[in-house]
Structure 1
Amino acid sequence: MSENTATIPGPMASTLDARALFATLAGLCGSLVAIGLARFAYTPLIPPLIQAHWFTSSQAVTLGAANFAGYLAGALLGRPIANALSNRHALRLLMLIATAAFFACAYPLSVSWFFAWRFASGVSGGAIMVLVATTILPHIPPARRGFASGMIFLGLGLGIAASGTIIPRLLQLGLKDTWIGLGAFAAILTAVSWFGWPGSAPAAPAPAAGTQPVRRGNTALRVLYAQYAANALGLVPAMVLLVDYVARGLGRGAETGAGYWVLYGVAAIAGPVVCGNVADRIGFGAAYRIALLLQAIAVATLALSGNPILIGVATVALGIFTPGIVPLVLGRIQEMVPHDHLEQRAAWSRATTAFALFQALAGYGYSCLFTLSHNNYALIFLCGAAALALALSADILTGRKPQPVATP
């Protein structure tokens, strides 16, 4: 009996056993600690960091960028770390690093100290993003992988929601205690996930007679990498400017702007699960095309309308897809490379690296454009909508979901 059948009772099983559910929970803990909290919890902490004179405003922004730089490094280093330690041990180590970073940030010994730990938390997030799903999903029945991937990346949505709700309440205890509280929560989640990480991947089923998997260098995969990079260009404007746009651009005040961010966060909680379940029903390729279309419409709506109801609808849509695109792209890679876990991991690493790179470039590029255009919000949002429309057009032009290539 193969390791696959020991984990999943039959190749076509559609239910999750206790081991698969525990692994999925471990994945959720990993994405919540290393990405959801390590990245998104920092945003509401910037004003208190400045007000408490821990850092100047420019230093606080630079320290925020340290996490993005670390995330890119982690996306590149994830596979080498796993090759050296095994996936299970690598994920445990990365969770410990992310947890230690929260405690370390409670003590602002110097800018370089804080930068190093923010960078380390970013490395942990990028590496976990590369490894977490490709470690767990081979142990999940194919019919339930959309649901499982949605649950794994639910941590991103929870982190976004926490950034607008829980963090402000923790700050009432003080800035130092907030960092320690985040560290304690991360330590609990690390302990919960410790024995949930699966070991080696199960044996992959043999491909059908007369077929072979899509080769990694083919055009469809390259287009997908480019689409995912363009998706980053499309999402960053709302991630960075939504609150400021409502508060200052539309003149509705900071409190109203914060309300839209909470709405964005609540939608983000549902995003991975909703997208994963939709993909289970209609396929990941079709689901991602729909996601690109709806994102383009939502970002264009922010550019073209100041109607509070339309902005609310666009906010919900973007909140859903900010974390929701992750399981969609991962699932599409698995559709393209259905029988090779190692190649799936390599392709997902390249896709994550592309997203991380263009997310960082978008952050700096849009910031410069925003300044040069004298705070032209509509221009930034239109750039994002154009990037998403371009990604959708590329998908349509390259055809439908790729099928295994028939052998001569």
Structure 2
Amino acid sequence: MEKVQVSPSRTGSHDQSHNAKWGIAAGFSASLVGIGLARFAYTPLLPAIIDAGWFDASKAAYLGAANLAGYLLGALTGRVMAQRSSTAFTLRAMMLLASVAFFACAFPVSYLWFFVWRLLSGISGGALMVLAAPAVLAYVPPSKRGLSGGIIFMGVGVGIAASGTLVPLLLQQGLKQTWLGLGIISLVFTAIAWKGWPKQDAAPVHAVQHPRQSNNTTLKALYAEYALNAAGWVPHMIFLVAFIAHGLGQGLEVGAQYWVLFGIGATLGPLLAGVLADRVGFGLALRLSFILEGVCVCIPALGLGTPWLMASSVVVGAFVTGTVPLVLGRVQELLVHHPAQQNAAWRTATVGFALFQAVAAYGFSYLFSYSGGNYALLFLLGTGAIALALLIDIVASRSVDEAAPR
């Protein structure tokens, strides 16, 4: 009897498509838990922590910065952790760590206890940012990677919007119950992602090895721009809700509503940024984003009223997540002839981003305390950082144009 053989290509294609879908769901869940909740849920919680007397305003702000310092450590060590075990094991462990940190923060044993767990939650977020999307996108067809990446990074925005919606509801039950509730939600998404991660790391396809990274002025400028951009977002990321609630005296509920707007912008940002980049190119899209961000980060310092504050929340939120695929696309664009260098360049950009964000968080927290709670100063400094990023982009572009052979 003649054996009937199943076409390996068709079966493999079906399995790959199935695995990619589950992988995208896992990547979305990792972004939601590790960054959307583990980092950004702290912003609407900040006034409640102060009001409940857990920590004073200065210490509470430093705890927010601890998460960003952890993010830097996670970005630096994520690849090392994956090499010592496996990428799938590390991703699962980091999502569990983020979930456990929520439960630990329900008990304000001491400032050091809280600081350590906020630091560990940041480490989980940094490692997930470096590892999750590349692990999943390696199994996605190139023609679908833009959309797939947008969906993965949408998890950050959904987490932000969820935190702005759920935190006020949970706070009605108490601050301790809020932390526990966030921990349960994180565990649910950890379970959803558990089997979605690739069982083994994908080998680079058609990668051309080069002994060293090409000397690219524009790429180095991009690192600086992404890092400065990260610093420019810090006033919104850490102080927006406290500014509305305490600085403007409108209360926690109103502050949380602005955080929901920020989350809506962050949810739509990656997809909208991708559409813009497809139309005008990654370079121009990034420059336009710097201009819009600079204007909108400055708005809270100008006292222009509610409609402007709403626009500021949405637009800055959109670019907090939308700039990520823009920079990733720009890296790939600049290294199109050096594909083997793209992952290393993305890690370098992510580490620079995390470093400047952490330094800015601590610096702004110090300035906030030293200035007696001057919110306007923070937003103006954030605007200056983004303006400098725009200037570097323009200067680098012109220097490359002038150096090009005519």
The normalised TM-score by structure 2 is 0.84
2:324 to 320, 323, 326: 326
CA distance in 1 between partners of 2:165 and 2:12 (Å): 38
- Structure 1 unaligned residues grouped into runs of 5+: 10-15, 403-408
Q: Deviations over 1:66-120 (max 9, x none)?
A: 2122111111111111221222221112112112222222334443333322221
The normalised TM-score by structure 1 is 0.84
Q: Which amino acid aligns with 2:205?
A: A
Residue of structure 1 in register with 2:136 after alignment: 136
CA distance in 2 between partners of 1:303 and 1:135 (Å): 41
1:335 to 333, 336, 354: 333
**Percentage identity across paired residues of the two chains:** 51
Does structure 1 residue 317 correspond to structure 2 residue 341? no
Moved more, 198-207 or 25-34: 198-207
Contact 2:293 2:316 in 1 (8 A): yes
Contact 2:43 2:240 in 1 (8 A): no
Q: Which amino acid aligns with 1:145?
A: R
Does structure 1 residue 350 correspond to structure 2 residue 348? yes
Contact 2:58 2:369 in 1 (8 A): no
Alignment of 1:65-144 (within 5 A): 65-144=65-144
Residue of structure 1 in register with 2:164 after alignment: 164
Residue of structure 1 in register with 2:206 after alignment: 205
Residue of structure 2 in register with 1:366 after alignment: 364
CA deviation after TM superposition for structure 1 residue 320, in Å = 0.8
CA distance in 2 between partners of 1:99 and 1:216 (Å): 40
CA distance in 2 between partners of 1:62 and 1:5 (Å): 54
Residue of structure 1 in register with 2:46 after alignment: 46
Contact 1:101 1:117 in 2 (8 A): yes
Q: Which amino acid aligns with 1:350?
A: T
CA distance in 1 between partners of 2:372 and 2:51 (Å): 27
Contact 2:24 2:152 in 1 (8 A): yes
Does structure 1 residue 184 correspond to structure 2 residue 184? yes
Q: Deviations over 1:247-287 (max 9, x none)?
A: 56566666544433322222222112222343344433332
Q: 1:57 to 1:230 in 2, by over 3 A?
A: closer
Alignment of 1:167-316 (within 5 A): 167-198=167-198, 199-205=200-206, 215=213, 217-246=215-244, 256-304=254-302, 306-316=304-314
Contact 1:157 1:270 in 2 (8 A): yes
SS at match of 2:172: helix
Q: 1:21 to 1:287 in 2, by over 3 A?
A: farther
Residue of structure 1 in register with 2:397 after alignment: 399
| Aligned positions, number | 392
Q: 1:213 to 1:25 in 2, by over 3 A?
A: farther
Contact 1:150 1:277 in 2 (8 A): no
CA deviation after TM superposition for structure 1 residue 51, in Å = 4.8
CA deviation after TM superposition for structure 1 residue 201, in Å = 1.8
Q: Deviations over 1:22-71 (max 9, x none)?
A: 21111110111111111111233334445555445554334333212211
Superposed CA RMSD in Å reads 3.3
Moved more, 133-142 or 303-312: 303-312
Q: 1:140 to 1:393 in 2, by over 3 A?
A: farther
CA deviation after TM superposition for structure 1 residue 339, in Å = 6.8
Contact 2:47 2:245 in 1 (8 A): no
Contact 2:44 2:241 in 1 (8 A): no
CA distance in 2 between partners of 1:52 and 1:181 (Å): 18
CA deviation after TM superposition for structure 1 residue 243, in Å = 3.8
Q: 1:340 to 1:195 in 2, by over 3 A?
A: farther
Contact 1:204 1:341 in 2 (8 A): no
